[in-house]
Amino acid sequence: MRRGAVLVLAAVLSVGALAMGQPKYVVLCDIAWAPFEWVSAKGAYLGFDLDVMRAIAIVEGYEIEIRDTPFDSIIPAVIAGKGDIGASGFTINEERAQVVDFSEPYWTSDQAVVTRAGAGLDVGGALAAGRKVGAQRGTTGAGWVEEQYPDVTLVLYETYPEAVLDLLAGRLDAVVQDVDPSRQAVAQYPGLLEIAGIIETGEQFGFLVAKGDPKGILPLLSSGMGKLKESGAWDLLVSAYFGPGLEEIEAAWEASIDILLVEKDVLKFAQTFAALVTE
């Protein structure tokens, strides 16, 4: 990319659109799914999905309000007009696409089977007939277990962390969830959990809006994601959120978030955040 183009794009990323009367959209997220979205020890909402939503709003010139919403209530709420954007690691699939519209994919994921450390189970053993397996209600992981392993006892939870706690307490034999949140759970409880195996589902995540996109949000999401990727901010956010532990992420985020929320400088925030995480 030519230097002039970089400077122009950096200017766009730093100030966004400053026109008065910016539209405001309500973003619904299940904020209990690190590293995509979670509540910090100090009560702040952070995560990859949330900062991408904030960054796109800045570069495309609109405002957002983030609302914590149970995962299986997000699509019904968007359909009913109680929210404008669903941003919570939603797998794009035919069933959902019949009732909502999706952005272009922004992430690819597989499913993981998490067990207690030392259980000595592979995927087949963890999901053998009679095993108690936890999953979050309304997720593709839960649907996959129902379809592929009908002889297990599937226990559904409102949030993924609740399932993890029951696994730690011995009330479950395994938990099925997307790979990245599963890895974060294993890191959060060192020596207590392990990933028994990965199921290669190749699911693609998208942000969702009401069917027909009546507010014209999808072009904004597409344009915004393009700007973040072109500038390098996207890759910086990926490096900051995927790999480090939650404590390191939270400390770096708290030290840099005003650059995004107050200064409205997306690229500077991403650069600072990523640098602080790796210090």
For residues 81-110, average pLDDT: 98
For residues 76-90, average pLDDT: 99
- Would you say residue 244 has pLDDT above 70? yes
> What number does CATH give the domain 110-203?
3.40.190.10
- Among 29, 41, 34, 37, residue whose Cα is nearest residue 68: 29
Determine the longest span between alpha carbons in the chain, in angstroms. Answer: 63
For residues 22-32, average pLDDT: 98
Number of H helices, E strands in the chain: 12, 11
**Average model confidence (pLDDT) for the chain?**
94
> How many other CB atoms are there within 10 angstroms of residue 169's CB atom?
9
* Residue the block writes with tokens 């107050």: 262
The band of 2, judged by pLDDT with boundaries at 50, 70 and 90, is: very low
For residues 264-268, average pLDDT: 99
Q: Within 13 A of 37's CA, how many CA atoms are on the CB side?
A: 25
Residue 16: its pLDDT value, please?
45
Domain limits, CATH 3.40.190.10, in the chain? 24-106+206-278, 110-203
Share of residues in the chain with pLDDT > 70 (%): 93
CA–CA gap between residue 188 and residue 32 (Å, rounded): 14
- Would you say residue 187 has pLDDT above 80? yes
Q: Which positions ≥6 away from 5 have C-beta within 8 Å?
A: none
- Would you say residue 3 has pLDDT above 60? no
- Would you say residue 4 has pLDDT above 80? no
CA–CA gap between residue 130 and residue 128 (Å, rounded): 6
CA–CA gap between residue 160 and residue 181 (Å, rounded): 9
The predicted-structure confidence for 29-40, as pLDDT tens digits, reads as follows: 999 999 999 999
Structure tokens, 249? 């992420």
**CATH code matching the domain that covers 24-106+206-278, chosen among 3.30.465.10, 3.40.50.300, 2.40.50.140, 3.40.190.10:** 3.40.190.10
The band of 225, judged by pLDDT with boundaries at 50, 70 and 90, is: very high
Share of residues in the chain with pLDDT > 90 (%): 91
Structure tokens, 262? 């107050």
Which phi and psi (to 5°) does residue 172 adopt? -130, 155
For residues 5-27, average pLDDT: 62
Q: Are 97 and 208 in contact (CB under 8 A)?
A: no
CA–CA gap between residue 242 and residue 183 (Å, rounded): 9
Residue 13: its pLDDT value, please?
56
For residues 9-26, average pLDDT: 64
The predicted-structure confidence for 126-143, as pLDDT tens digits, reads as follows: 999 999 999 999 999 999
- Would you say residue 8 has pLDDT above 70? no
